[in-house]
């Protein structure tokens, strides 16, 4: 049986497209027929239908991007706020620069992109934000990251409520650890062997391993698709049954 493509001629904007989850999402959406616009600091290695290099720290760039995608594709059906950064350390070690950058990328950029996209969207459109299990239940020594991801979870619930009557669904996926370069770089910074550290993490997950990017992407695709048509303002944990602490 041939699997039906779910996103033929749908127009999507994906942030953080050069990261592991973002790049996997781009491939999956294109495979199922979508027109995909991507943004990141450098999108040269990404196969997409439209590329917009830019910095999510730039408020003007965020405000204008959805309209640029709309004009390019003559519409915008999906927004996927995948981009994010992890700022580690207890609060007394966090600088003003850490705070400003984290809140700009993790909270303000999704806020601006949602605000600019929703007026351009029609009934049947969808937004998926990437929050975190740690945005729902706090883990240790990441107060800034946790605060930012909690804000995205709350924003998702608020927008889901406010725009359901328009037929615009807003949901969020909340991963725990995912085997990405971002996670591995954190181990390297702490002087740990990334492969050994991943193996150790795998043993803490009831399902036997941490997530791969595709595990998260499949949930994002579900939340974009008509299969999740009655989900709006939902916060979906994807954690292999692993508790936060």
Alpha carbons 155 and 103: distance in angstroms, whole number: 13
> How far from chain centre, in Å, is Cα 122?
21
Under 8 Å between Cβ of 213 and 151: no
232: nearest Cα among 245, 219, 223:
223
Active site residues: 145
3-state helix, strand and coil shares in percent for the chain, rounded to the nearest 5? 45, 15, 40
> How far from chain centre, in Å, is Cα 94?
24
Alpha carbons 135 and 152: distance in angstroms, whole number: 8
Alpha carbons 213 and 209: distance in angstroms, whole number: 12
What 3-state class would DSSP assign to 39?
strand
Q: How far is CA 169 from CA 33, 66, 231, in A?
A: 20, 17, 7
């Amino acid at each position: 049986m041939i699997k039906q493509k779910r996103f033929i001629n749908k127009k999507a904007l994906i942030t953080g497209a050069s990261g592991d989850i973002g790049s996997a999402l781009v491939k999956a959406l294109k495979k199922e027929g979508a027109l995909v616009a991507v943004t990141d600091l450098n999108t040269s290695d990404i196969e997409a239908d439209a590329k917009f290099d830019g910095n999510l720290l730039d408020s003007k760039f965020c405000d204008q991007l959805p309209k640029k995608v709309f004009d390019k594709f003559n519409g915008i059906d999906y927004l996927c706020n995948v981009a994010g950064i992890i700022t580690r350390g207890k609060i007394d070690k966090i600088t003003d620069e850490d705070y400003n950058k984290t809140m700009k990328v993790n909270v303000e950029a999704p806020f601006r992109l949602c605000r600019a996209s929703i007026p351009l969207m029609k009934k049947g459109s969808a937004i998926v934000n990437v929050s975190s299990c740690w945005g729902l239940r706090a883990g240790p020594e990441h107060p800034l990251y946790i605060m930012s991801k909690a804000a995205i979870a709350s924003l998702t619930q608020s927008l889901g409520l406010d725009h359901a009557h328009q037929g615009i669904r807003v949901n969020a996926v909340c991963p725990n650890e995912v085997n990405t370069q971002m996670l591995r770089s954190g181990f390297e910074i702490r002087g740990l062997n990334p492969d050994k550290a991943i193996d150790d993490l795998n043993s803490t997950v009831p399902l036997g391993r941490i997530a791969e990017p595709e595990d998260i992407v499949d949930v994002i695709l579900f939340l974009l698709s008509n299969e999740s048509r009655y989900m709006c303002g939902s916060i979906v944990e994807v954690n292999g049954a692993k508790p936060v602490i």
